Structure 1
Amino acid sequence: MRTRIRHEGRLDSGGGVRIWWWNLRVLEVEQNLLNGFLPVSIGNLSTYLEKLSLGGNGIIGTIPGETGNLSSLLLLSLFANHLTGSIPTTITRLQKLQRLNLSGNSLQGSIPTEFCRLPNLETLLLGRNQFFGPVPACLGNVSSLRNISLGSNNLSSSIPESLWNLKDLLEFDMSSNSLIGDLPSGLGSLRVATRIDLSVNRFSGNISTAIGGIQSLLYLSLAHNSLQGSIPETFRSLISLVTLDLSHNNLSGVIPKSLEALSHLRDFNISFNELSGEIPSGGPFKNFASQSFASNEALCGLTQFGVPQCHAVYRSGTTKRVLIIYILSVI
Structure 2
Amino acid sequence: MGSFGSVYKGTLLDGMSVTIKVFNSQLERAFRSFEVECEVMRNIRHRNLMKIISSCTNLDFKALVLEYMPNGSLEKWLYSHNYCLDILQRLNVMIDVASALEYLHHGHTTPIIHCDLKPNNVLLDEDMVAHVADFGIAKLLGEGDLMVQTKTLATIGYMAPEYGMGGIVSTRGDVYSYGVMLMETFTRKKPTEEMFAGEMSLKRWVNDALDSSIIAVVDSNLMGREEHFSVKEQYVSSILGLAMECSNDSPEERINMKEALVRLKKIKVSFLANIGGT
In proportion to residue count, which structure has more strand?
Answer: 1
In proportion to residue count, which structure has more helix?
Answer: 2
TM-score relative to the length of structure 2: 0.25
TM-score relative to the length of structure 1: 0.22
Higher RCO structure, 1 or 2 (CA under 8 Å, sep 6+): 2
